[in-house]
Amino acid sequence: MLEQLPLPSHPRTRPSLPVHESDLKTAFDLGPNAKSYKQQYANIYFIRLAKLRKAVEERAKAKWSNVDGSPKYVKRVLDVQKGELCYIIGTVYMDMPLKPNVLEDISKDHWIAAPPPRPKIYSSDDSAMLEDESGRIRMVGERLQRARPVTGVIMGALGAETAKGDFEVVDVCWAGMPPQPSREGEEMDVDGAERKGEWVALASGLDIGGSAAPSDMRTELLVELLTSELGGSEDQGETARITRLILAGNSLTPPIRQEEIIKKRYGYDSSSYSPAPTISLAAHLLDLSRAMPVHLLPGASDPAGATLPQQALPKAMFGDVKKASGFSCETNPCWIPLEGCLMLGAGGQTIDDIFRYVESDDRLEMTRNTLLWRHLAPTAPDTLWCYPFSDRDPFIISTTPHVYFVGNQPEFATSIARGADGQQTRIILLPRFSQTGEVALVHTGTLEVRKLTIELGGWEGLEKRE
In a domain? residue 263:
no
CATH assignment of the domain containing 287: 3.60.21.50
Residues 396 and 380: their CA atoms lie apart, in Å, by: 12
In a domain? residue 108:
no
Q: Which of these, 317, 201, 305, lies nearest to 248 by C-alpha position? A: 201
pLDDT of residue 36: 76
Q: Which amino acid, 170?
A: V
C-alpha dist (Å) from residue 33 to 6, 37, 40, 95, 175: 48, 12, 18, 36, 33
* 58 and 27 assigned to the same domain: no
In a domain? residue 265:
no
Residues 181 and 187: their CA atoms lie apart, in Å, by: 12
Q: What are phi and psi of 374, to 5 degrees?
A: 60, 35
* 62 and 198 assigned to the same domain: no
In a domain? residue 332:
yes
In a domain? residue 406:
yes
* 70 and 142 assigned to the same domain: yes
* 25 and 58 assigned to the same domain: no
Q: Which of these, 46, 32, 422, 438, lies nearest to 222 by C-alpha position? A: 438
If one counts the domains in the chain, the total is 2
Q: How many residues does the chain have?
A: 466
Burial state string for 301-331 with b = 16 or more CB within 10 A and e = fewer than 16: bbebeebbbbbbbebeebeebbebeebbbbb
User: Is 184 exposed, middle or buried, given 0-12, 13-18 or 19+ CB atoms closer than 10 A?
Assistant: middle
> What does DSSP assign to residue 375?
B
Q: How many helices (H) and strands (E) does the chain have?
A: 10, 18
Q: Which of these, 297, 298, 286, lies nearest to 325 by C-alpha position? A: 286
pLDDT of residue 406: 99
pLDDT of residue 212: 56
28, 192 Cβ separation under 8 angstroms = no
347, 297 Cβ separation under 8 angstroms = yes
* 156 and 49 assigned to the same domain: yes
- Measured at the CA of 312, the angle between CA 306 and CA 317, to 5 degrees, comes to 100
Q: Taking the CB of residue 188, how many other CB atoms lie within 10 A of it? A: 9
* 290 and 158 assigned to the same domain: no
What 3-state class would DSSP assign to 331? coil
* 141 and 26 assigned to the same domain: no
* 159 and 209 assigned to the same domain: no
pLDDT of residue 153: 98
* 295 and 343 assigned to the same domain: yes
In a domain? residue 85:
yes
235, 243 Cβ separation under 8 angstroms = no
339, 386 Cβ separation under 8 angstroms = no
Residues 282 and 248: their CA atoms lie apart, in Å, by: 16
> What does DSSP assign to residue 422?
S
Domain boundary among 173, 208, 236: 173
Q: Which amino acid, 383?
A: T
Residues 435 and 410: their CA atoms lie apart, in Å, by: 10
Residues 251 and 265: their CA atoms lie apart, in Å, by: 31
In a domain? residue 84:
yes
Range of the domain at 250: 21-35+179-184+194-255+274-465
CATH assignment of the domain containing 145: 2.40.50.430
pLDDT of residue 214: 60
* 248 and 352 assigned to the same domain: yes
* 95 and 220 assigned to the same domain: no
pLDDT in tens, the chain (466 residues): 333 333 444 433 344 455 566 678 889 998 777 777 888 888 999 999 999 999 999 999 999 989 998 899 999 999 999 999 999 999 999 999 988 776 565 555 565 666 677 889 999 899 999 999 999 999 999 999 999 899 999 999 999 999 999 999 999 999 999 999 987 655 444 344 456 889 999 999 999 986 655 667 889 999 999 988 876 666 667 788 899 999 999 999 876 655 544 555 555 555 444 568 899 999 999 999 999 999 999 999 999 988 999 999 999 999 889 888 889 999 999 999 998 899 999 999 999 999 999 999 999 999 999 999 999 999 999 999 999 998 999 999 999 999 999 999 999 999 999 999 999 999 999 999 999 999 999 999 999 999 999 887 544 555 555 5
The torsion angle over the Cα atoms of residues 27, 29, 35 and 41, rounded to 10 degrees, is 30
Domain boundary among 173, 205, 236: 173
In a domain? residue 330:
yes
* 289 and 198 assigned to the same domain: yes
Give yes or no for a cis peptide into 100 (omega within 30° of 0): no
Give yes or no for a cis peptide into 6 (omega within 30° of 0): no
Q: Which of these, 201, 184, 436, lies nearest to 295 by C-alpha position? A: 201
β-pair partners for 71: none
Q: What is the pTM of this model?
A: 0.87
Residues 24 and 165: their CA atoms lie apart, in Å, by: 44
Residues 82 and 89: their CA atoms lie apart, in Å, by: 17
pLDDT of residue 425: 98
